[in-house]
Structure 1
């Protein structure tokens, strides 16, 4: 009688416990300096070198400027892993990044923060 297959390492709430870090090859520090509000845009260049499926997902999402935080939420990976994958794409010329433009407002502007809070409350 064959042995039963081992149970995958799963957490009922979190899902697979190993997968996020395998996508980045075990790396947890991005080569590029990115923050949550950094905007990412695909250049249309081919990805040179080895790629993981998450690279393709990120490129598909970056047809217009998208923040690092939004990308991490869409591909359901921790922000740190998302930053590592984006760093790979940046080094290969597949994406460009830029700091968000706060035209006349400062990122700590009270009116801006209240508008964000109001928007979050509406979504919850």
Structure 2
């Protein structure tokens, strides 16, 4: 039995019916350098040739800027597989990729403290 909205790719009892590496045709390295925080957005261009169901889901999801990590979570795929799918769409011009906003030091103590302070205010 499939969960609502998941289509034939997921089964409640068995889990994922298609192994993640088959979704990317066995490829493990994306052709475009993507960070988990890279922002992707659909360009409106239609990819030529066959696009799998995951590619179509990504295009539906990326009407606004969406980070790689969020797309991977939505697709329920490992980040490495998701990056390969995203690189396919970037290569054909259907997506644009923007690197994360911080280039210098993502583990900068002041940045991490500001994030922690913001989270504390939200709780």
Tell whether the 8 Å contact from 2:35 to 2:100 is kept in structure 1 after alignment.
no
Distance (whole Å) between structure 2 residues aligned to residue 56 and residue 116 of structure 1 = 33
Give 2:15's aligned residue: 15
State the secondary structure of the residue aligned to 1:58: helix
TM-score, normalized by length of structure 1?
0.75
CA displacement at 1:22 relative to structure 2: 1.4
Give 2:111's aligned residue: 112
Q: Does 1:47 align with 2:50?
A: no
Which 4+ stretches in 1 moved above 6 angstroms?
none
Q: Which runs of 5+ in 2 are unaligned?
A: 1-10
Number of aligned pairs?
110
TM-score, normalized by length of structure 2?
0.75
Q: Which runs of 5+ in 1 are unaligned?
A: 1-9
CA displacement at 1:112 relative to structure 2: 2.5
CA displacement at 1:102 relative to structure 2: 3.5
CA displacement at 1:108 relative to structure 2: 2.4
State the secondary structure of the residue aligned to 2:59: helix
State the secondary structure of the residue aligned to 2:54: helix
